[in-house]
Amino acid sequence: MNAPAPKTIYLKDYQVPDYLIDTTDLNVDIHDGYTLVSCMLALRRNPAAKQAATELTLQGADLELVSLSLDGRLLEEGDYTFGEESLTIFNTPETFTLITITKIKPESNTSLEGLYRSRTMYCTQCEAEGFRKITYYLDRPDVMSEFTTKVIADKKYPVLLSNGNLIEQGDAGEERHYAIWHDPFKKPAYLFALVAGDLAHIEDSFSTSSGRAVTLRIFVEPKDLDKCDHAMASLKHAMRWDEEVYGREYDLDIFMIVAVDDFNMGAMENKGLNIFNTSCVLAKPETTTDVGFQRVEGVVAHEYFHNWSGNRVTCRDWFQLSLKEGFTVYRDSEFSADMGSRTVKRVEDVTLLRTLQFAEDAGPMAHPIRPESYIEISNFYTMTVYEKGAEVIRMLANLLGKENFRKGTDLYFDRHDGQAVTTEDFVTALADASGRDLSQFKRWYSQAGTPRLDVTDYYDEDAQTYSLTIKQSCPPTPECQNKLPFHIPIAMGLLGSAGDLPLYLQGSQPDFETSDNTHRVLELTDAEQTFVFERVQEKPVPSLLRGFSAPVKLNYAYSTRDLILLMSRDSDGFSRWEASQQLGLQAISAAMAAYQQERSLDGFSLSAQLVDAYRRVLQDASLDQAMVAYMLTLPSEAYISELADVIDVEAIHYSRQAVRKALANALADDFTRIYQSYDHRQPYAATADAIATRSLKNVALAYLMLIHDEGSIRACEQQYRHGNNMTDVMAALTQLVNSEAPLAQEYSLAALADFFGRWQHESLVVNQWLSVQAGCQLPDTLSRVRALLQHSAYDGKNPNKIRSLIGAFCNGNAINFHSGNGEGYAFLADQIIQLNRQNPQIASRLLTPLTKWKKYDHVRQQLMKAQLERIRAEPELSKDVFEVVSKSLA
């Protein structure tokens, strides 16, 4: 029989803590098989509490209490009581010192929360509620304390680290030693970090704008020491950028990063001691793809930026998670845009948002970026909180302008330094600094769902006026059936036959002082508004939502001719890419109609007009080559599925493939020219230009491999054999594995064996080997995945391995995961049931494909629902999995 349903926590029930903790003194004594944690807290009643407390409730999980004393008096059983995950102490005075000693077992902690063992080290992960697995504590973000931490361990773990600055270290007798760290900045427990291990490090320094010297260290296992240079360079770039763009200096004497192989997340911004998943810090050309290099740069910057947007100013409660994450994602996105191509970065971010976050908004886990309730907070580290949260910050930046946005963030940091605050506090600071009324804008924080903009237009040739009428709507969600209008910034322009037209918006002054008056931002605040432009001498094509200025779905009846004009002439790079995507969708929709009418897609052809438009893109020397690669890449199956009312798995897959093959045949000469002009002997560089050139060359190779030409297949195999960087090697291997051609399949078997033999001792590279096989779209891939579960390369306790194999198959291989017999659904349910007991966080995140069951045909709906019900029937279901399954079945 299942246990009672876990309790739901509501934002409306928030109350300030009864007690505050001024100082926290930790003594963490690590032994093989167990760790003793002594914790001394200086507590006082919170003057902001509604009434004076007479008891103290601390959170704790999986702890063995050794002793408990209050002001030097050892407490007995009648002085306290245990709850399910709590310890309540009775008759507590106004101020007192509490000392707890607990015993924990990091070696058997498979949840990877709190203190746990990973390979050669002990490490921690405390966000969101992991600190309670280390000691009893007020484990909530609005309780901020000054930490001093003593770490004691055997000398076989020579590196002992914690937050802040090192103040003392020495011998502890019997081949043991200690280190004491002090963090002068008050922080909540979720920002605590500790590492003890056999690690090597690289070291550098950074001079702040005020002249302070900061020591920088990146700690890794000794074998990975040659993969840290890119992360260090990224860190220094981020530190300088944050000073120049936001005026934020680093505040401690040392900044440290530790790379951990077993980690549930990407990285963690613990104050002064960032703990990273190895996949987000290790990089070198032989083992890391271009995407990997870019990810390291972005994640290193993200976690560093948290020092201010998350650490110095933190969240009052977990409902405010987007306060730090949305803001910091926006900051790291802008940093990456400044380091490379702004348009390319925008395309990448929007692709992620529209594919995954829009789907989340339309599914059972839909929630505002400031949720109203949760059962398990770990389930709300979502695309909505992070990516949509960043889009909301971007809208604020665009509405306020660069100068006022900077004034607003300066006021926010100055006003709330050292505090735990809310999203309301953030928006209020921006409003106060800019003088703008942002009250309507705040609806973005409280209303879930993706708004839809329906746009119609009218051109009056005699009056030379052009009218745009925009209606906004948002689908109902369980917590809100009738959405109020959002405040939506719509960046736009008008295109004539020769390009951008000047804009004379009725009732508004033209902007010639700061621009050529061909671009402006309309502010939509009503359910329906009409904007009239004057002095329009020809019927224009509207360029709408430039730069994707708001996270909305746009509906405007563009013709093929309109889209070709936008793709070739628009001054906004994002809009040119978006036009190419819409053209691709038109072609795929035509192929899907044929497929659904049971007409053969063999020899499916494209219009000469469409082929010519793509050819002009390939031949446009003015375009960034990365943009050409993106414009030639058709919308993904996941994005097409998100757009569909009912997902037709086979129609989407085979129709997209038919359009790809048609483009490959029509543009074969151009793709051959691009591929053959690339010099494979040039040394690897992770620069924007070099990445762009490789990207376009590998897109050309992917198209050529669809033709099944023997010369292209041999060229692909040669690229695999002789590639001098992992980007080219993986691009070639992926094409060989996915090709139906017998010669390619022959090559792929040899290449897979060769790849594993060469890289079997590099864990992150093996992850790529697992993923390329899990992502194979040829039949019977599930059998291959099942076999790989038993392979020596796979570790079912390592989150990176789980994501690389199970996650890659279930999230990224729709044609095989959604096989009509339901085997993919049963396979995923089996893995979730097993992981529920081992690592609930990873289990709940793997559930995502099954949560979308209502978007499929009736047969698949029943098969997916049956697996969700099987999971729900499991005894001792974790809060993480219970919440996702129960919402999915509601």
Tell me 386's DSSP state.
I
Query: Using CB atoms within 10 A of its CB, is residue 443 exposed (0-12), middle (13-18) or buried (19+)?
Result: middle
Q: Tell me if the pTM is above 0.75.
A: yes
CA distance 721 to 750: 11
End-to-end Cα separation, the chain, in angstroms: 20
Task: Provide the CA 399 distance to its chain's centre, in angstroms.
Answer: 25
Q: Are residues 167 and 25 in the same domain?
A: yes
pLDDT tens-digit series, residues 595-637: 999 999 999 999 999 999 999 999 998 899 999 999 999 999 9
Within a domain: residue 433? Answer: yes
Final residue in a domain of this structure, among 198, 230, 263: 198
CA distance 487 to 111: 42
| Ramachandran area for residue 495 (φ above 0: left; ψ -120 to 50: alpha; else beta) | beta
> Can you spell out the DSSP letters for 131-161?
GGGTS-B--STT--EEEEEEEEEETTS-EEE
Tokens for 388? 């949509």
CA distance 153 to 176: 6
Q: Are residues 421 and 344 in the same domain?
A: yes
Q: Are residues 44 and 87 in the same domain?
A: yes
Q: Are residues 364 and 497 in the same domain?
A: no
Final residue in a domain of this structure, among 532, 557, 582: 557
Q: What is the CATH number of the domain that holds 96?
A: 2.60.40.1730
Q: Are residues 429 and 464 in the same domain?
A: no
Tokens for 333? 């996105």
pLDDT tens-digit series, residues 388-426: 999 999 999 999 999 999 999 999 999 999 999 999 999
Is residue 3 pLDDT above 90, yes or no?
Answer: no
Q: What is the CATH number of the domain that holds 368?
A: 1.10.390.10
Within a domain: residue 321? Answer: yes
pLDDT tens-digit series, residues 165-224: 999 999 999 999 999 999 999 999 999 999 999 999 999 999 999 999 999 999 999 999
CA distance 265 to 269: 11
CA distance 710 to 44: 77
The pLDDT mean for the chain works out to: 97
Residue type, 810: C
CA distance 273 to 263: 15
Task: Provide the CA 72 distance to its chain's centre, in angstroms.
Answer: 47
pLDDT tens-digit series, residues 280-311: 999 999 999 999 999 999 999 999 999 999 99
Q: What is the pLDDT of residue 481?
A: 80
Residue identified by tokens 């700690």 is 219
Inter-axis angle of helices 649-666 and 688-704, to 10 degrees?
Answer: 100
Q: Are residues 39 and 166 in the same domain?
A: yes
What length does the chain have? 890
The contacts of residue 188 (CB under 8 Å, 6+ apart) are 140, 141, 142, 143, 144, 145, 314, 420
Query: Using CB atoms within 10 A of its CB, is residue 475 exposed (0-12), middle (13-18) or buried (19+)?
Result: middle
Within a domain: residue 562? Answer: no
CA distance 79 to 97: 15
Within a domain: residue 590? Answer: no
For residue 59, CA distances in Å to 89, 134, 304, 840 come to 12, 10, 29, 19
pLDDT tens-digit series, residues 794-845: 999 999 999 999 999 999 999 999 999 999 999 999 999 999 999 999 999 9
**Which of the pair, 555 or 511, is modelled with greater confidence?**
555
CA distance 199 to 849: 38
- 1 band by pLDDT with thresholds 50, 70 and 90: very low
Q: What is the CATH number of the domain that holds 541?
A: 2.60.40.1840
Tokens for 322? 């987007």
CA distance 59 to 243: 38
For residue 99, CA distances in Å to 90, 96, 184, 878 come to 15, 10, 21, 31
b (16+ CB within 10 A) / e for 664-685: bbbbbebbbebbeebeeeeebe
Tokens for 107? 């070696």
Q: Which long-range contacts (CB under 8 A, 24 or more apart) does 634-640 make?
A: 634/581, 634/584, 634/588, 634/659, 634/660, 634/663, 635/581, 635/584, 635/585, 635/588, 636/351, 636/355, 637/814, 637/815, 638/355, 638/356, 638/359, 638/812, 638/814, 639/351, 639/354, 639/355, 640/585, 640/588
Question: Cβ atoms within 10 A of the Cβ of 205, count?
Answer: 11
Final residue in a domain of this structure, among 198, 216, 242: 198
Q: Are residues 438 and 327 in the same domain?
A: yes
Three-state DSSP class for 352? helix
CA distance 852 to 366: 11
CA distance 734 to 745: 11
Which of 126-140, 250-264, 446-460, 510-524 is least confident? 510-524
Q: What is the pLDDT of residue 2?
A: 53
The contacts of residue 810 (CB under 8 Å, 6+ apart) are 817, 824, 827, 828, 846, 849
CA distance 470 to 527: 8
- Tell me whether the omega of the peptide bond preceding residue 128 falls within 30 degrees of 0, making it cis: yes
Within a domain: residue 271? Answer: no
Q: Are residues 407 and 508 in the same domain?
A: no
Does an H or E element contain 770, and which?
helix 763-774
Within a domain: residue 100? Answer: yes
Q: Report the chain's C-alpha Rg in angstroms.
A: 28
Q: Are residues 22 and 68 in the same domain?
A: yes
Give the domain range for residue 129: 18-198
Task: Provide the CA 668 distance to its chain's centre, in angstroms.
Answer: 36
CB 93 within 8 A of CB 43: no
pLDDT tens-digit series, residues 50-96: 888 899 999 999 999 999 999 999 999 999 999 999 999 999 999 99
Residue percentage of the chain with pLDDT more than 90: 97
Is residue 4 pLDDT above 90, yes or no?
Answer: no
CB 160 within 8 A of CB 258: no
- 513 band by pLDDT with thresholds 50, 70 and 90: confident
Within a domain: residue 687? Answer: no
Tokens for 752? 């897979």
Please identify every residue annotated as catalytic: 303
Within a domain: residue 258? Answer: no
Looking at the 3D structure of the chain, how many domains does it have?
A: 3
Q: Are residues 440 and 492 in the same domain?
A: no
Q: Are residues 456 and 441 in the same domain?
A: no
Is residue 465 pLDDT above 50, yes or no?
Answer: yes
CB 525 within 8 A of CB 470: no
pLDDT tens-digit series, residues 853-870: 999 999 999 999 999 999
Task: Provide the CA 515 distance to its chain's centre, in angstroms.
Answer: 34
Residue percentage of the chain with pLDDT more than 70: 100
Task: Provide the CA 241 distance to its chain's centre, in angstroms.
Answer: 21
| DSSP H stretches of helix in 306-388 | 321-339, 342-352, 358-361, 383
Q: Are residues 381 and 329 in the same domain?
A: yes
Q: What are phi and psi of 594, to 5 degrees?
A: -65, -45
Question: Cβ atoms within 10 A of the Cβ of 207, count?
Answer: 11
